[in-house]
Chains A and B, each alone.
Chain A
Amino acid sequence: MTDTAEHIATEPELPKQDKLQRALFRFRQSRLSMLGAVMVALVVFFTAFGTLLAPFPEHIAGGVDTAARFQPPSWAHPFGTNELGQDVLSLVMAGTTVSVLAGLSVVLIGTVIGTLVGAIAGFAGGWIDEILMRLTDLTLTIPGLILAMAVAAALGPGFTNMIIAISLSWWPGYARLVRGEVLAVREESYVNAARAIGASPSRILLRHILPNTVSPIIVKMSLDMGFAILMVAGLGFIGIGIRPPTPEWGTLLSVSRSYMPDYWWTAMAPGMAMFFAVFGFNLLGDGLRDILDPKARR
């Protein structure tokens, strides 16, 4: 090259920076986030293996042991037995699978619908935006539990119907979030750059805008998991969600309600499990927000 090479000589290498490692470092620095992560890991573990590890698998399938009704906590039954003589711990462990999978399905379906609606509204703008967002507002005006109750009552009880029912009230939050993010990212310089190189609208949306809205969506999903689990339990509790004998935390609580306070242990395990899962997901969500979405930090 000529003598100009020296003038345009590039800067020396910056050290390779691993974004993930930095994020993990910051995450690990917060004890609460780590606690949340451990709690969620435990919940996930029981979701996968709860049914297999349960000490009395026959009770999960509906088996009863009338001789052992309402036994208080002991070594054999750490959380006692219920009105059918079933081991409460086994039921709660198996219930983890049902509750968490139901919660996860609700959040996933809500995210997919919400992202779709929000992304189209934010990207298209104009009357499409107007229609989609008024529809979102309309859905938001109906309290979630009431809407879910109405839909569940219309469709009848059952796992799938309940998930459909809750998901229908779940997406508007995501639609609003994603629309807002899309509107913000749409004005970024790199989106203009993509327009200038002739990228098609779908390419701009899928390649340039949506990937940059993922962080807040993930944060909201993890914060929402706890609420979704509570909602599933709530429907179970009032008797229009999952029906016994399928073990589900809300249903378990609902049944044990009749035997309070004499046989308090029947309610304790499902209540604690719910508290544990919801708390864990919330801590994790807060931690994720701190590392993924620095704008929202305190």
Chain B
Amino acid sequence: MTAPLLSIRDLHLSMSSYDGKAHVLNGIDLTVNRGEIWGLVGESGCGKSLTGLSISQLLPSPPADYMAGEIMLEGRDMLKLPRPELQKLRGNRIGMIFQDPTTNLNPAFRIGDQLVDVALAAARWKPGILDCPPGAGRSERKRAARKLARDMLERVGIPDAGMRLDSYPHQFSGGMRQRVLIAMALIGRPDLLIADEPTTALDVSVQAQILKLLKGCVADYDMGVILITHNLGVVAETCSHVAVMYAGNIVESGPVAAVIERPEHPYTRALMASIPTRDTRRGMLRGLAGSVPNLITPPPGCRFAPRCPHATAACMTGVPAPVRVGRDHAAACIHAKEPETAHV
């Protein structure tokens, strides 16, 4: 079997601030293969976005400090790559989409020109994407890049793509802008796409379209996706796998169906119980008391223990290791049971 697309091993990250050094990622293990969509969920401040930014090495250092671990992208450790190599990778191996589509497009340039720039830059490393003979002139390459830009806009479902190339960002609606950003992230044919809350600012109907589009792209381009979101509903409908994060740890991970049907970690259960469903009776929503702990002085042992309804004295000693609770399904809880003994 070949190396996985992305493999994060025991990643530890700390961030320094006035208050001290916060241990924000506490041994992350994550493996993403081509064709998989991984949902990364958890409350804010759990390290979801930091994990995403770590993969593309976009955190300034200081304050960021990687204390241990590795981030392997098809066998190469992102933490050890020199800067120019990283930049090359970011453009065409890793694509990124952020939450706010307005601030990530330059308002002064036409959509088409921005897409063409990205395509030309990506073509420096991957000439194949432009579909023109080697040694082609500048104008020829530019024309090819423009055609590619139009194709991508069509691909992400923007009507009249050819004409829309000449529009400015402000002439697009929020959903359309997010589509443009997806097109921009995909134009270099990345192997890994990191989408950080791509639909949070959008209406539900637009959200559904964007997520469907994302799913289609994964199938077409055979890439891996990390979808960072706080919405378990989005994960349930879009992702193939899910990793639930709490206070810098992945507390539960596995195929979406398994995790959502049989959540083994109390945090995952609590998170799911916070979402009102059609059967939740008024006033009977089971919230989760408390909030994410301060990571400068994290609680000893299991970081979730102070909020956990099932915590015992044993939980206060030592960070629990992930326990296999099903096929590819693991939960980092000392009370989680191996599949043989678990009640199914």
- A–B touch (CB < 8 A): the answer is yes
Interchain CA distance A15-B294 in the complex, whole Å: 9
Q: Point out the residues of chain A lying under 8 angstroms from B289, CB to CB.
A: 6-7, 9-11
In contact, A7 and B285 (Cβ under 8 angstroms):
yes
Question: How far is the CB of B270 from the nearest CB of chain A, in Å?
Answer: 12
Nearest to A6 among chain B residues (CB) is B289
Interchain CA distance A12-B293 in the complex, whole Å: 9
Nearest to A8 among chain B residues (CB) is B287
User: Chain A 23-38, CB within 8 Å of chain B: the 1/0 string?
Assistant: 0011000000000000
Interchain CA distance A10-B287 in the complex, whole Å: 11
In contact, A7 and B287 (Cβ under 8 angstroms):
yes
Q: Point out the residues of chain B lying under 8 angstroms from A26, CB to CB.
A: 18
User: Chain B 270-294, CB within 8 Å of chain A: the 1/0 string?
Assistant: 0000000000000101110111001
Nearest to B297 among chain A residues (CB) is A15
Question: How far is the CB of A149 from the nearest CB of chain B, in Å?
Answer: 42
Interchain CA distance A232-B277 in the complex, whole Å: 71
Nearest to A23 among chain B residues (CB) is B18
Q: How many A-B residue pairs have CB under 8 A?
A: 20
A25-B18, A26-B18 given; A11·B285 CB < 8 A: no
Nearest to A11 among chain B residues (CB) is B291
Interchain CA distance A12-B294 in the complex, whole Å: 11
Nearest to B307 among chain A residues (CB) is A12
Interchain CA distance A8-B286 in the complex, whole Å: 9
Interchain CA distance A8-B285 in the complex, whole Å: 10
Interchain CA distance A36-B294 in the complex, whole Å: 35
In contact, A4 and B283 (Cβ under 8 angstroms):
yes
Which range holds the interface residue count of chain A? 10 to 19
Tell me the residues in window 281-333 of chain B with beta carbons closer than 8 Å to chain A beta carbons: 283, 285-287, 289-291, 294
Q: Point out the residues of chain B lying under 8 angstroms from A6, CB to CB.
A: 289
Interchain CA distance A6-B288 in the complex, whole Å: 9
User: Chain A 102-136, CB within 8 Å of chain B: the 1/0 string?
Assistant: 00000000000000000000000000000000000
Tell me the residues in window 1-24 of chain A with beta carbons closer than 8 Å to chain B beta carbons: 4, 6-12, 15, 22
In contact, A22 and B283 (Cβ under 8 angstroms):
no
Interchain CA distance A6-B287 in the complex, whole Å: 9
In contact, B290 and A11 (Cβ under 8 angstroms):
yes
Nearest to A21 among chain B residues (CB) is B18
Interchain CA distance A25-B20 in the complex, whole Å: 12
Interchain CA distance A4-B289 in the complex, whole Å: 12
Q: Point out the residues of chain A lying under 8 angstroms from B294, CB to CB.
A: 15
In contact, B291 and A7 (Cβ under 8 angstroms):
no
Nearest to A12 among chain B residues (CB) is B290
Question: How far is the CB of A33 from the nearest CB of chain B, in Å?
Answer: 16
Interchain CA distance A256-B176 in the complex, whole Å: 70
Q: Point out the residues of chain B lying under 8 angstroms from A7, CB to CB.
A: 283, 285-287, 289
Question: How far is the CB of A51 from the nearest CB of chain B, in Å?
Answer: 42
Question: How far is the CB of B266 from the nearest CB of chain A, in Å?
Answer: 15
Interchain CA distance A6-B285 in the complex, whole Å: 11
Interchain CA distance A22-B20 in the complex, whole Å: 12
Q: Point out the residues of chain A lying under 8 angstroms from B285, CB to CB.
A: 7
In contact, B18 and A22 (Cβ under 8 angstroms):
yes
Question: How far is the CB of B17 from the nearest CB of chain A, in Å?
Answer: 10
Q: Point out the residues of chain B lying under 8 angstroms from A10, CB to CB.
A: 289
Nearest to A29 among chain B residues (CB) is B18
Q: Point out the residues of chain B lying under 8 angstroms from A9, CB to CB.
A: 289-290
Nearest to B291 among chain A residues (CB) is A11
Interchain CA distance A15-B289 in the complex, whole Å: 18
Nearest to B306 among chain A residues (CB) is A12
Nearest to A26 among chain B residues (CB) is B18
Nearest to A17 among chain B residues (CB) is B19
Question: How far is the CB of A295 from the nearest CB of chain B, in Å?
Answer: 14
Question: How far is the CB of B298 from the nearest CB of chain A, in Å?
Answer: 14
Nearest to A4 among chain B residues (CB) is B283
Interchain CA distance A9-B288 in the complex, whole Å: 9
Question: How far is the CB of A143 from the nearest CB of chain B, in Å?
Answer: 33
Question: How far is the CB of A12 from the nearest CB of chain B, in Å?
Answer: 6
Q: Point out the residues of chain A lying under 8 angstroms from B290, CB to CB.
A: 9, 11-12
Interchain CA distance A230-B287 in the complex, whole Å: 63
Interchain CA distance A151-B144 in the complex, whole Å: 67
Q: Point out the residues of chain A lying under 8 angstroms from B286, CB to CB.
A: 7
Interchain CA distance A22-B19 in the complex, whole Å: 9
Interchain CA distance A107-B289 in the complex, whole Å: 52
Q: Point out the residues of chain B lying under 8 angstroms from A15, CB to CB.
A: 294
Interchain CA distance A8-B287 in the complex, whole Å: 7
Question: What would 20 A/B residue contacts be, using CB atoms closer than 8 Å?
Answer: A4-B283, A6-B289, A7-B283, A7-B285, A7-B286, A7-B287, A7-B289, A8-B287, A9-B289, A9-B290, A10-B289, A11-B289, A11-B290, A11-B291, A12-B290, A12-B291, A15-B294, A22-B18, A25-B18, A26-B18
Which 5 A-B pairs give the minimum distances between C-beta atoms?
A: A9-B289, A11-B291, A7-B287, A25-B18, A22-B18
- Interface residues of chain A, those whose CB is within 8 Å of chain B, are 4, 6-12, 15, 22, 25-26
Extra contacts, 9 of them, besides A9-B290, A10-B289 (Cβ < 8 A), are A4-B283, A6-B289, A7-B286, A7-B289, A9-B289, A11-B289, A12-B290, A12-B291, A15-B294
